[in-house]
Amino acid sequence: MFSLTPARLVLVSACYFFLVLNVALLAKLLGIINGLEQVSVGFVLTIPLFFIACFNAIFSLFTAFRCEKPVLIFFILLSSLLSYAMYNYGTIVDRDMIVNVLETNSGEAKSYLNLPAVLWFVFTGVLPAALIMKLHIKRSTVLRELLMKLTSIIASALVIVLIATFYYKDYASVGRNNAYLNKMIIPTHFTHSLYGYVRDTYFKEEIPYRPLGEDAALTQQAPADRKQLLVLMVGETARADNFQYGGYERDTNAFTQPLGVTYFQQVSSCGTATAVSVPCMFSRLSKPDFSDSQASNQDNLMDIVQRAGINTVWLENDGGCKGVCERIKTIEFKPDANNPVCDGDYCQDQVLLDGLTAQLDQLDAQHNIIVLHMVGSHGPTYYKRYPKEFSHFQPDCQRSDIQNCDARQLNNTYDNTLYYSDYIMSEVIKRLQQRQDLSTGMLYVSDHGESLGESGLYLHGMPYSLAPTEQTHVPMLTWFSDAFVADKQLDTRCLQQAATSNAYSHDNLFDSILGLMDVSTGLYQAKLDVFNRCRGQGKLALNQASSK
Contact assessment for residue 524 and residue 546, using Cβ atoms and an 8 Å cutoff: yes
DSSP β-ladder status, 136-137 and 3-4:
parallel
| Residue 221's pLDDT band (cuts 50, 70, 90) | confident
177-218 pLDDT, tens digit per residue, is 888 899 999 999 999 988 888 888 888 778 889 999 999 999
Mean pLDDT score across all residues of the chain: 92
pLDDT at position 546: 53
Q: In whole angstroms, give the CA distance from residue 220 to residue 542.
A: 9
pLDDT(105) > 80:
no
Q: Given its phi and psi angles, is residue 399 left (phi above 0), alpha (psi -120 to 50 degrees) or beta?
A: beta
Amino acid at 476: M
| Residue 48's pLDDT band (cuts 50, 70, 90) | very high
Of the listed ranges 99-108, 323-332, 445-454, 528-537, the one predicted with least confidence: 99-108
| Residue 112's pLDDT band (cuts 50, 70, 90) | confident
421: exposed, middle or buried (Cβ count in 10 Å: 0-12, 13-18, 19+): buried
Average pLDDT over residues 49-78: 94
* CATH class (in words) of the domain with range 227-547: alpha beta
pLDDT at position 538: 45
pLDDT at position 100: 79
pLDDT(327) > 70:
yes
Answering whether pTM is above 0.85, one says yes
Average pLDDT over residues 365-391: 96
DSSP β-ladder status, 3-4 and 476-480:
unpaired
Q: In whole angstroms, give the CA distance from residue 17 to residue 124.
A: 10
SS3 87: helix
429-488 pLDDT, tens digit per residue, is 999 999 999 999 999 999 999 999 998 899 999 999 999 999 999 999 999 999 999 999
pLDDT(363) > 60:
yes
506: exposed, middle or buried (Cβ count in 10 Å: 0-12, 13-18, 19+): buried
| Residue 99's pLDDT band (cuts 50, 70, 90) | confident
pLDDT at position 217: 96
pLDDT at position 117: 92
pLDDT at position 541: 46
Of the listed ranges 132-146, 351-365, 389-403, 527-541, the one predicted with least confidence: 527-541
pLDDT at position 543: 54
Per-domain boundaries in the chain: 3-202, 227-547
Contact assessment for residue 2 and residue 134, using Cβ atoms and an 8 Å cutoff: yes
Cα–Cα distances in Å, from 276 out to 100, 150, 380, 430, 471? 8, 42, 19, 32, 13
DSSP 253-280: TTTTGGG--EEESEEE-S-SSHHHHHHH
Cα–Cα distances in Å, from 434 out to 258, 431, 437, 481? 16, 5, 9, 10
pLDDT at position 539: 57
135-177 pLDDT, tens digit per residue, is 999 988 889 989 999 999 999 999 999 999 999 999 998 988 8
pLDDT(519) > 60:
yes
Q: What proportion of the chain, given as a percentage, has pLDDT over 90? A: 78
Average pLDDT over residues 311-339: 93
pLDDT at position 65: 83
